[in-house]
Amino acid sequence: MDVSRRGFLKLAGAVSAGSALGGLSMARPIHAYAKDLPTKGAKEVPTLCPYCAVGCGQIAHVRDGKLVNLEGDPSHPISRGRLCAKGAATYEMTVNDRRLTKVLYRAPGGSDWQEKPYDWALQEVAKRFKATRDATFVEKDGGALVNRCDGIAWIGSACTDNEECYLFAKLARSAGIVFLEHQARL
Amino acid sequence: MTNHFIDMKNADVIVIMGSNFAENHPVGFQWVMEAVEKNNALLIHVDPRFTRTSAVAHKHVPMRSGSDIAFLGGMINHLLAGDKIDRDYVANYTNAPFIISDKYAFTEGVFSGLDAEKRSYNPESWQYEKGPDGKSKLDPTLKHPRSVFQLLKAHYSRYDIETVVKITGTRKEDLLFVYDAMASTAVPDRSGFFAYAMGWTQHSNGVQHIRTAAMIQLLLGNMGVPGGGINALRGHANVQGATDLAVLFHDLPGYLGLPAQGAHANLKEYLDKGPKAGFWVNRPAFVVSLLKAWYGDAARKENDFCFDYLPKSKGEHSFQQAFNVMAQGKIKGAVCLGQNPMGAGPNAGQMFAGLSKLDWLVSVDFFVNETAEFWKSNPTGGLGHKADSAAIKTEVFVFPAATVVEKSGSFTNSGRWIQWHEQGSKSPGDAKTDAVFTIRLGQELKKLYAGSAEKKDRPILDMTWDYGEKEGEIPARVLKEINGYAVKDVLKDGKAVVKAGEQLPSFIFMRDDGSTAGGCWIYTGVFGKENKAASRKADKPGEGIGANLGWSFAWPANRRILYNRASADLAGKPRSDRKKVIWWDAAAENPDGKKGKWVGLDVPDFGATMAPDAKPSDKGLFVGIGGMHPFIMNPEGRGRLFAAALKDGPFPEHYEPVETPVDNVLSKQKSSPVAKIYKSDKNPLGTPDKYPYVLTTYRLTEHHLAGAMTRNLPWLAELMPNLFFEISKELASELGIKPGEMCTISSARGSIKAQACVTDRLKPMTIAGKKVHEIGLPWHWGFKGIAVGDVANTLVASVGDPNVFIQESKALLCDVKKGG
């Protein structure tokens, strides 16, 4: 029996078509058929697994700005193309109906979310940030200059990039925040 | 990690303890298997549970959660009593010969200097004894009764094998198997490493767990060699980087330390209180460069480079403390960004109490997580989450975030490799990167404070914050700032070695006069002329020791194996051909015409041209460090078997967890006298009469931490849908619990429901003559997502290590009842 790839595809097609028809009939000519790979025509972009700190390499396949596939990077010296269950599911973190795409707002005592424009929300947060900072700022304590904002906590994160962490520290410290923490103590 | 993942292939003995490596870091684990398969390495897994790591190990050795220091202390005793140590290494490269003050004492589980009421030590009596010349006294023969070596021997002589068996519940022959396996690496030709994770850290004396292992590695000469070291298996993609860049209350980027109220009134005081010898003498240059990076032209010599702008800490501002203070109504606003305290924080009741008291809360994430929606009741199939929405006045803003594949930037992995990722797809809707969110928040604040004449607002107004208009270019611009650049020509001996405006090639060019700026000195070199984080020149597979110097950039200075000077002997020759890393090449020519430099398979963790016979100098980059001192960050240049810097003793000592079913076999001091116990009505502690079983928490392959990044993904939710707990067949039979049955697990803090997984993987143990049962509980679940379940952290106490304040979630007390 011819079990070359082409032959196998024909046979597989015959079996499934045959099963659908309720028997092994060859009523129609059977053609080899393979769907285009989802990565056809997509750009390959090197990225990293977002889960643990092994630092596995991933290749993102991107077409028209959209993620179409994500898999292990075979040229990565640590991971050598492999991914674990979480790493292999990374695609679904990005392409996911449950993802937030709008700002949500919950009023004090409110029972549900409201969608809000991003810029409005950012400005409202900045106003509250300033008001709380101004109200809780300790410039001097026991005569010592301490420039401390005791009333705001900045929590996170070990899931963000180095560059982002640096910006958090720079902004938080400049605002006087001392309750600055990420997951390292958990 | 002192070493890195690929380096694991070079090991001869591997002890995984406090980690389920195979399930929690599966892809990194291939390097363990490579060592087993290609290097004939012996693999041992020490863990209360039998896991997939145990399944592929040559030996699984069970022990009781919370008894690790007794287990490892017994190993120190075994090595010392049997003279199974690397004696040359210990004598030359550790502080074993140093004489300790005659005021140092250790009695009944307590070190000298304890203030029992304040629960803190005064470490004054833990110091080196000084001679009339002010220098530390040494006894190279190691025989002085107050030498570190003799004190170490005396301290751990109490950890005899019978005592250790009583505490750990481990069989004597199993202990000896592990001890002798590690002892086999005491020769220079062999190496072994410890790999650990939260199983070691999440204890009321977690730091001392890691120290005990580090001391063993020093005794065995396993630090600074291929296949050696202490390898932390970190659980978040960038937990290393977030720590390096100091998103932590006590620090500034590059481990410079946040100034403290009372100790650091001005820059001079802050710098003068730093180390006077070792590579840290360069700290002033790193500090001033950081201030120049943050405050630009406003930072000038005459105003202390804006040192006043930095907040001064007052006591502890840790994560646990933050939520304690929040529940008291003292913290009014919080930004939770890429973090989910309602699921991840110890003592979920305390988290809820804190969040409920906030005026405003910001959550930035891909999904609505438990923290964002803490104010709303939600069923889980367990006991569920209950909240009185109308009574909770917290205003909540949730901002959609970009995923990793939607942005460029760098992560630092567990092996300190700073790796770059490129942006692939575009973010949907209003989702933005955390960098864009933060920069825009900063810009809004600058607008709101514009024109303010108040001094307190200068830091926000003077902060350099221009990262350009193009969002895609922000990360590279920020990394360049982190790396550092020359503000003016950087001079050496009157000559410009880096021109104004150029990127710094190395931190040795940083200056304390304001001529350089740089956000994190240990990262300098990552973006000199080019972005080396994005460098992709891997070694040929199987080649050499796997250093991969052309792939990414490892901090500091692209070094892959820390302390690698210790792989060579006093004369600079490799101590073993099989384990060589760097060596002294006396004939090598240097650009300045002088001869001799360190060469080899890695970037030297040492002065590149400092000869092995160089005498310690009182000036230069390496004050006090001689050519034979590999541990350049310590003023004495040696690895510390005795360390005065810790809050809970210069030697690790076994204490029972804060909640324990047994007494301390070793001393009258039951649990650590300085363990942090947070006072709160949400934090009652349990006793074994009501909560008789030990509970330990753990993680699964299919889920990530508090679960927002996995329980919202259909594939992973389907693979691991329900919260369960592991219980031994013996205990299940005693309690009449059948496999799959829903049960209630309670601690003094609260209760959850979970399905029973009745298994042989856990066994009852005999501890000090008493039968002790232990149950295992994965902690990823919460009330938001596709896969939902009760929050395991409901059970965990607000208890912390005195050094780093991490909670004790690896050993606490619980009760289990069928039904619920």
Q: Does B94 touch chain A (CB under 8 A)?
A: no
Cβ of B318 within 8 Å of Cβ of A185? The answer is yes
Enumerate residues 630 to 669 of chain B having a beta carbon within 8 A of any beta carbon in chain A: none
Give pTM, 2 decimals.
Answer: 0.96
Chosen for mutation from B231, B269, B397, B700 (greatest number of chain A CBs closer than 10 Å) is B397
Residues A58-93: pLDDT tens digits? 999 999 999 999 999 999 999 999 999 999 999 999
Claim to verify: residue B220 and residue B336 sit in the same structural domain = no
Q: Does A45 touch chain B (CB under 8 A)?
A: yes
Residues B299-314: pLDDT tens digits? 999 999 999 999 999 9
- Residue A1's pLDDT is what? 39
DSSP 8-state symbol, B613: T
Check: CB of residue A77 under 8 Å from CB of residue B551.
yes
Question: Predicted confidence band at B77 (pLDDT cuts at 50, 70, 90)?
Answer: very high
Cβ of B322 within 8 Å of Cβ of A153? The answer is yes
Task: Return left, alpha or beta for B564; rule: phi > 0 is left, psi -120 to 50 is alpha, else beta.
Answer: alpha
Share of chain B above pLDDT 90, in %: 99
Question: Which of B246, B405, B409 is nearest residue A60 as measured by Cβ atoms?
Answer: B405
Cβ of B235 within 8 Å of Cβ of A53? The answer is yes
Question: Predicted confidence band at B543 (pLDDT cuts at 50, 70, 90)?
Answer: confident
Cβ of B238 within 8 Å of Cβ of A185? The answer is no
Tell me if B136 is assigned to some domain. Answer: yes
Claim to verify: residue B210 and residue B346 sit in the same structural domain = no
Cβ of A183 within 8 Å of Cβ of B344? The answer is yes
Of B232, B251, B266, the residue that ends a domain is B232
Give the count of domains, chain B.
3
Check: CB of residue B33 under 8 Å from CB of residue B419.
no
Q: Does A139 touch chain B (CB under 8 A)?
A: yes
Q: Does B1 touch chain A (CB under 8 A)?
A: no
Contacts of B262 in chain A (CB under 8 A): 144
Cβ of A153 within 8 Å of Cβ of B456? The answer is no
Q: Is B618 exposed, middle or buried (0-12, 13-18, 19+ CB in 10 A)?
A: exposed
d(CA A30, CA A13): 7
Check: CB of residue A93 under 8 Å from CB of residue B709.
yes
Side-chain half-sphere CA neighbours of A124 within 13 A: 20
Cβ of A109 within 8 Å of Cβ of B702? The answer is no
Contacts of A167 in chain B (CB under 8 A): 434-435, 438-439, 442, 478
d(CA A70, CA A44): 9
Average pLDDT taken over every residue of chain A: 89
* Exposure letters B664-682 (e unless 16+ CB within 10 A, then b): bbbbebebbbbbbbbebeb
Contacts of B474 in chain A (CB under 8 A): 163
Tell me if B582 is assigned to some domain. Answer: no
- Residue A27's pLDDT is what? 66
> What is the number of residues in chain B?
820
Check: CB of residue B438 under 8 Å from CB of residue A125.
no
**Chains A, B: CB pairs < 8 Å:** 485
The total of other beta-carbon atoms located within 10 Å of residue B272's CB is 11
- Residue A36's pLDDT is what? 86
For residues A131-154, give the mean pLDDT.
97
> Beta B799-800 vs B676-677: how paired, if at all?
antiparallel
Claim to verify: residue B686 and residue B785 sit in the same structural domain = yes
d(CA A27, CA A145): 90
Residues B260-292: pLDDT tens digits? 999 999 999 999 999 999 999 999 999 999 999
> B619 vs B277, B278, B623, B625, CA distance in Å?
9, 10, 5, 10
CATH of the domain at B379: 3.40.50.740
Has residue B331 got a pLDDT over 80?
Answer: yes
Query: Which one-letter amino acid corresponds to residue B806?
Result: I
Average pLDDT taken over every residue of chain B: 98
SS (H, E, C) A5-33: HHHHHHHHHHHHHHHHHCCCCCCCCCCCC
> B498 vs B65, B254, B489, B491, B620, CA distance in Å?
54, 22, 6, 7, 19
Check: CB of residue B49 under 8 Å from CB of residue B73.
no
Nearest residue to B487 (alpha-carbon basis) of B304, B294, B298, B289: B289
Query: Which one-letter amino acid corresponds to residue B667?
Result: S
Tell me if B795 is assigned to some domain. Answer: yes
Contacts of B368 in chain A (CB under 8 A): 100, 104, 113
Check: CB of residue B498 under 8 Å from CB of residue B491.
no
Claim to verify: residue B324 and residue B221 sit in the same structural domain = no
Q: Does A137 touch chain B (CB under 8 A)?
A: yes
Helix, strand or coil, per DSSP, at residue B537 = coil
Phi, psi at B193, each rounded to 5°: -135, 160
Q: Structure tokens of B553?
A: 């950039």
Claim to verify: residue B37 and residue B180 sit in the same structural domain = yes
d(CA A166, CA A168): 5
Q: Where are the alpha helices (DSSP H) in B188-257?
A: 198-201, 206-219, 239-244
Query: Which one-letter amino acid corresponds to residue B745?
Result: I
- Residue A24's pLDDT is what? 54
Contacts of B249 in chain A (CB under 8 A): 178-181
Check: CB of residue B252 under 8 Å from CB of residue A168.
no
- Residue A18's pLDDT is what? 39
Contacts of A112 in chain B (CB under 8 A): 376
Nearest residue to B258 (alpha-carbon basis) of B318, B334, B203: B318
Domain boundary assignment for chain A: 1-34, 43-94, 103-185
Q: Does A78 touch chain B (CB under 8 A)?
A: yes
Question: Which of A96, A100, A173 is nearest residue B368 as measured by Cβ atoms?
Answer: A100
Question: Which of B237, B248, B422 is nearest residue A159 as measured by Cβ atoms?
Answer: B237
- Residue A20's pLDDT is what? 44
Chosen for mutation from A66, A152, A155, A177 (greatest number of chain B CBs closer than 10 Å) is A155
| Max CA distance (Å), chain B | 82
Contacts of B376 in chain A (CB under 8 A): 111-112
Cβ of A154 within 8 Å of Cβ of B312? The answer is no
Cβ of B806 within 8 Å of Cβ of A186? The answer is yes
Looking at chain B, which residue has its C-alpha nearest residue A78?
B6
Chosen for mutation from A99, A164, A171 (greatest number of chain B CBs closer than 10 Å) is A164
Claim to verify: residue B214 and residue B354 sit in the same structural domain = no
Question: Predicted confidence band at A35 (pLDDT cuts at 50, 70, 90)?
Answer: confident
Has residue B63 got a pLDDT over 80?
Answer: yes
Tell me if B533 is assigned to some domain. Answer: no
Omega within 30 of 0 (cis) for the link into B556: yes
- Residue B435's pLDDT is what? 98
Domain residues for B695?
Answer: 676-818
CATH of the domain at B74: 3.40.228.10
Tell me if B661 is assigned to some domain. Answer: no
Claim to verify: residue B186 and residue B331 sit in the same structural domain = no
Tell me if B650 is assigned to some domain. Answer: no
Enumerate residues 303 to 322 of chain B having a beta carbon within 8 A of any beta carbon in chain A: 308-314, 317-322
Q: Say what angle helices A162-175 and B474-483 make with each other, to 10 degrees.
A: 70
Q: Does A140 touch chain B (CB under 8 A)?
A: no
Contacts of B421 in chain A (CB under 8 A): 46-48
A43-94: CATH topology: N-terminal domain of TfIIb (2.20.25)
Kindly report the nearest CA distance between residue A38 and chain B, in angstroms. Answer: 15
- Residue A16's pLDDT is what? 44
Name B742's bridge partners. B755
Tell me if B135 is assigned to some domain. Answer: yes
- Residue A2's pLDDT is what? 42
Kindly report the nearest CA distance between residue A168 and chain B, in angstroms. Answer: 7
d(CA B662, CA B688): 8
Of B232, B251, B276, the residue that ends a domain is B232
- Residue B542's pLDDT is what? 86
Q: Does A136 touch chain B (CB under 8 A)?
A: yes
Q: Is the dihedral of CA B532, B537, B541, B545 positive or negative?
A: negative
> Beta A137-141 vs B582-589: how paired, if at all?
unpaired
Cβ of A51 within 8 Å of Cβ of B704? The answer is yes
Of B232, B262, B297, the residue that ends a domain is B232
Question: Which of A128, A144, A156 is nearest residue B336 as measured by Cβ atoms?
Answer: A156
Q: Is the dihedral of CA B386, B390, B392, B395 positive or negative?
A: positive
d(CA B132, CA B373): 65
Tell me if B161 is assigned to some domain. Answer: yes
Claim to verify: residue B173 and residue B34 sit in the same structural domain = yes
Question: Which of B26, B424, B433 is nearest residue A45 as measured by Cβ atoms?
Answer: B424
Looking at chain B, which residue has its C-alpha nearest residue A170?
B294
Cβ of A125 within 8 Å of Cβ of B400? The answer is no
Looking at chain A, which residue has its C-alpha nearest residue B321?
A179
Cβ of B419 within 8 Å of Cβ of A137? The answer is no
Cβ of B238 within 8 Å of Cβ of A165? The answer is yes
d(CA B745, CA B794): 10
d(CA B300, CA B746): 58
Residues B647-705: pLDDT tens digits? 999 999 999 999 999 999 999 999 999 999 999 999 999 999 999 999 999 999 999 99
Q: Does B250 touch chain A (CB under 8 A)?
A: no
For residues B625-633, give the mean pLDDT.
97
Q: Does A183 touch chain B (CB under 8 A)?
A: yes
Has residue B562 got a pLDDT over 60?
Answer: yes
